[in-house]
Structure 1
Amino acid sequence: MARKKPRVHIVGTGTIGEPLVYLLTEQRKEIGLGEVSFYKRTPLVEEVGKVKRMVEVGAVFSAGEDKFPQFKELGLHPMLTHQQALERADVIIDCTPEGNKLKEKYYLALSQKYPKKGFIAQGSEEGFGVPYVWTVNDKCLFGRFIQVVSCNTHQLVCPINTLIIKHEGIENLKNGKFFIARRGSDISEDKVNPGVEAEAAKEKYRQYGTHQAYDAARVIQTLYSRPISIPIHSQIIKVPTQYMHTMLFDIEIKSPIHYKEALARLEANPLIVFTNLKSTNRVFDRARNTSKARGRILNQTVFYKPSLDVSEDGTHIRGTCFTPQDGNALLSSVAATLWLLDPATYKEKMKVFDKFLFTEVV
């Protein structure tokens, strides 16, 4: 009897869930997946087209059994109840902002009933599982619960890992300051922020400023068996744009480096893509028109090349980066899924997604 191909279930169809449904469904044969299902909670007439398109590419639509009549009134026909989809799946990817709540409500009981089942949450869901960024702390993955950190945390970890950790190690970091201008909303959302909003400091993140640096430190800490000092700090403002987040950084190091060496280290990372375009709208437009992944940028960051600067004494590295909200975390979610299914083969299968990476945005 042929071995059943693994099934993946995606909970939520927002800015992460929907593109993840497409990415996994359209590549499922190449990476050895069977069924890819998704859960839609609320029947909304304006989202009928979205659900139909995901079904058309081969994804299996699930909903709460009590919502079946309302979905059918809209011309949509769920193929599974949500409970059936949860029971059938080998990996469940939660793309809602309530990963920890759903862990307590559903996932812990499922993990006890099916010990091999894997679970993934998105964003700042501390406590869900191992905080993870693809290619940064893969060797630290364990257990059946993984937290894929937020897009801006990916973008923050990326230069630290590329410039420092992969070379001299985190001990070479003296101080890292990161200023993030978050986009106010996604292009798929109706809400628009009319002005610039500041983000208040929270006591929990006081040492790090905001959850982005806090979660970045948690990712980096997994690389070390002992508690280490990770002197990084982030600040956030929210700006009235629907395109991309922007991050400015100033990394101070102990052992000096030359500009050419800093550039070479950044260029060696295929998850960093360079651009000479200085505005997020132009970067977003070029990506939308040329991306092989339905308009998404899956690279961890888009680095504005003219912004790279190294101080005369070689101890400060500065730069400006861009990222969309629904890009870099997608690859980490796929990698986490494949790792949960088979740690021995996931890196080889991830090569399937290399074709979606930008080598430049021009």
Structure 2
Amino acid sequence: MGNWVHVVGTGTIGEPLIGLLTKRREELGIATVSFSKNRPTSEDVGKVEKMVRRGARLCVLPEIAANGGPLQSGPRAFEQAGYPKPTMLTPEAIAGADVIMDCTPEGRGIAHKAEWYAPRAARDPNFRGAIAQGSEFGFGKPYAYRINETALERGTDRFIHVVSCNTHNIAVLLRALGGTQLERLAEASFTCIRRASDVSQRGGFIAGIEAGTHEDAHFGTHHARDAYALLSTLFASEEHRDAVLGAPTTPRILSSACKAGTQYMHVIHADLLLRGRWSHDEIVDRLDGIPTIALTEFFDTPRVFAVGRDYGFRGRLFNQTVVNPKTVAVFPSHDPVFGHRTRIHLWSFTPQDGNSLLSSVAAVAWLLDPETFEQRIECVKKYLMRRI
């Protein structure tokens, strides 16, 4: 049958991912793309028709009826609701796909791993693995494209956790400015100003600013915790990790978050303290030297967002962050104990969904063949932009 990728979930990540996998299926070395849909809701008929028309295969749960009433799932229920004829049942796809990408809402990926993916991995040595998105901390090895490929181990890492869009932003800034092994990083703090909802969502919008709590006693919010976990995979020992990033109870990466009444983009304020003296031009050159970072002259999210809408894949920017060099401020100092230091302040725009999509496709390609994944995702890397 060839390489088979199954996507669970058709929301803001799942739907464009299905579109990307079907559009670039040949270049990615994928023979079959299938996806799960649980309930035959009338408002999703058009979306599913488009995905099937592009070559994805619809999979549904077995027939379920409520107390002898109308069917709530199963092939007949979907056909009665006007959907394309399902190709197979979801349990068959879970049991047969080479790679499974879970794009369901928060917490469900962990549950699906326990129910479906881990038992499959235990009994089937040919199962390449499963990938989860965003807020599924603990699902598997944390991953972001071009951040920690060297930490992935063939045959061992069958469960991969693609980190959230803001974690991508934080991690790429830390590696760009702190060094590939974070050898220049003394400390860092990030304030994530999150959009209230996606443009495709009706609920969750707010009229103003909503302050977030610091729910993590050590990191502040999950953004720093997830970035710490991601970057920790770069170190061979806990001692080395603690020397660079600090121990988990005394980390050198902290974060805060709030939510703003906008549907465009998240924005992050970064405050980094680096070892040594660094000029503004040197900092900008380091940012410009990272292929997944885009520079812009724009200061506002509507215009950055509009570039993705007009020129990105499905309206999305695949870069991990977007920075206006004019927001970069450099403050040199000298400590009698630690020597020369440079504090960096900057603002960055987070291409939500898009940066996670790039890492998701890279993770799929890596699970299918770690030796050739970089060449096969060239077809997706072309969506990266250098200037916005």
So what's the TM-score if we normalise by structure 1? 0.94
User: Which residue in the other structure is 2:364 paired with?
Assistant: 337
Q: Contact 2:35/2:59 (CA < 8 Å) preserved in 1? A: yes
Q: 2:378: which partner in 1?
A: 351
1:41 aligns with 2:62: no
Given that 1:246 and 1:322 are in contact with CA atoms closer than 8 Å, whether structure 2 keeps it comes out as yes
Q: Aligned pair 1:250/2:271, yes or no?
A: yes
Q: Contact 2:277/2:332 (CA < 8 Å) preserved in 1? A: no
Match of 1:91 in 2: 99
Q: 2:213 aligns with which of 200, 206, 210?
A: 200
User: Which has the larger displacement, 155-164 or 189-198?
Assistant: 189-198
Work out the percentage of aligned pairs sharing the same amino acid: 41
Offset of 1:124 from its aligned partner?
A: 2.5
Q: Does 1:287 pair with 2:332?
A: no
Question: Bigger radius of gyration, 1 or 2?
Answer: 2
- Give the TM-score of the pair, scaled to structure 2: 0.88
Cα pair 1:124 1:215 within 8 Å, conserved: no
User: Hey, what's the Cα distance between the residues in 2 that align with 1:116 and 1:329?
Assistant: 26
Q: Distance in 1 between matches of 2:12 and 2:147?
A: 23
Aligned AA for 1:139?
T
Counterpart for residue 145 of structure 1 = 159
Aligned counterpart, 1:213: 224
Describe the SS at the equivalent of 1:86.
Answer: helix
Q: Report what 1:79 is aligned to.
A: 87
1:275 and 2:296 matched: yes
Counterpart amino acid of 1:102? H
- 1:267 is displaced (CA, Å) by 0.6
What corresponds to 1:18 in structure 2?
15
TM-superposed deviation, 1:235: 0.4
Looking at structure 2, the residues matched to 172 and 165 of structure 1 have their Cα atoms a distance apart, in angstroms, of 6
Shift of 1:75: 1.2
Q: 1:52 aligns with which of 17, 34, 49?
A: 49
Q: Distance in 2 between matches of 1:73 and 1:285?
A: 39
Supply the distance in 1 between the matched residues of 2:125 and 2:212 (Cα, whole angstroms). Answer: 40
- Deviation at 1:146? 0.4
Q: Which residue of 1 aligns with 2:66?
A: none
Alignment-derived partner of residue 355 in structure 2: 328
Alignment pair present for 1:240 and 2:257? no
Deviation at 1:128, TM superposition (A): 1.1
| Equivalence map 1:299-338=2 (5 Å) | 299-313=319-333, 315-338=342-365
Return the letter of the residue paired with 1:147.
Answer: H
The aligned counterpart of 2:387 is 360
Runs of 4+ in structure 1 off by over 3 angstroms are none
Aligned residue number for residue 173 of structure 1: 185
Q: C-alpha displacement at 1:299, in angstroms?
A: 0.7
In 2, the alpha carbon distance for the partners of 1:61 and 1:165 equals: 45
Quote the offset at 1:338 in angstroms.
Answer: 0.8
Native 8 Å contact 2:322 2:351 kept in 1: no
Match of 1:106?
A: 116
Any conservation in 2 of the 1:15–1:325 contact (CA below 8 Å)? Answer: no
Q: How many pairs does the alignment contain? A: 353
Aligned to 1:7: 4
In 2, Cα distance between the equivalents of 1:165 and 1:90? 36
2:261 and 2:86 mapped to 1: Cα distance?
A: 37
Gaps of 5+ in 2: 64-72, 246-251, 334-340
Instruction: Please name the residue that 1:161 is paired with.
Output: 175
| CA-atom RMSD in angstroms | 1.3
